[in-house]
Amino acid sequence: MTTELTRLRVDAQENRDRILAAAAELFSERGLDIGMRDIARRAEVGPATLYRRFPTRQALIDEAFSVELQACRQIVVDACADPDAWRGFTGAVRRLLAMNVRNRGFVDALVSTTPTEVFVRHRRELLGLLGGLARRAQNEGMLRADFTIGDLVLVLSAGRSLSARSRDGLAAAADRFADLAIDAFRARSGAA
């Protein structure tokens, strides 16, 4: 009996892991519009198994992006820890844009007009940290004085369109877009 119960637990965990992996792949490739049946099919489980593990679509989204949430947070924490605020800020812009083009679904969930509490807290915390970093870079005279955190959100939102390109050259396009955005954010000597 114990061996059978252990085997059932192992099977259940394997199903859960496959569902999460399939969801992460499909959300990354196609965004959040992917159907639950498509995820079940990719995971090679039935829809009932998927819904038993994740009773709501949002529960699956939150769990599928838990790793990305941590990675995103680490990018911002690392940037804020840099003693050179401009270097930290520009590093965050580059890394966030690179993450942005690699995972379309994560960005869709993050900028959703109806995000879950998980994503609301994440956004609020990270935008607050980035706002503090931006003020430091402005005080150093490197970031333009009229910069607002909304400008960064605008650039990250615009960067979402890069994920619609073919996968070939995506990293180079994100890097070039980051170069252009960083140049636009740079303070100009003699600017009013």
pLDDT tens string 154-191: 998 888 777 666 667 788 888 999 999 999 999 987 44
Ordered by where they begin, the domains of the chain are 2-64 (1.10.357.10), 66-185 (1.10.357.10)
Q: What was the pLDDT predicted at 191?
A: 47
Q: Mean pLDDT over residues 38-43, rounded? A: 94
Q: For residue 145, which phi and psi values (nearest 5 degrees)?
A: -65, -30
Rounded Cα distance between 36 and 53, Å, is 12
* Mean pLDDT computed over every residue of the chain: 86
b vs e for 132-167, b when ≥16 Cβ sit within 10 Å of the residue's Cβ? Answer: ebbebbbeeebbbeebeeebbeebbeebbebbeeee
Q: Mean pLDDT over residues 14-25, rounded? A: 90
Q: What was the pLDDT predicted at 8?
A: 55
70 dihedral zone (left: phi>0; alpha: psi -120 to 50; beta): alpha
**HSE value, Cβ hemisphere, 13 Å, CA-based, for 88:** 22
Tokens standing for residue 146: 């009229």
Asked if residue 114 has pLDDT above 70, the reply is no
Helix (H, G, I), strand (E, B) or coil at 141: coil
pTM: 0.79
Give the model confidence (pLDDT) of 50-92 as tens digits: 998 899 888 898 888 888 889 999 999 999 999 999 999 999 9
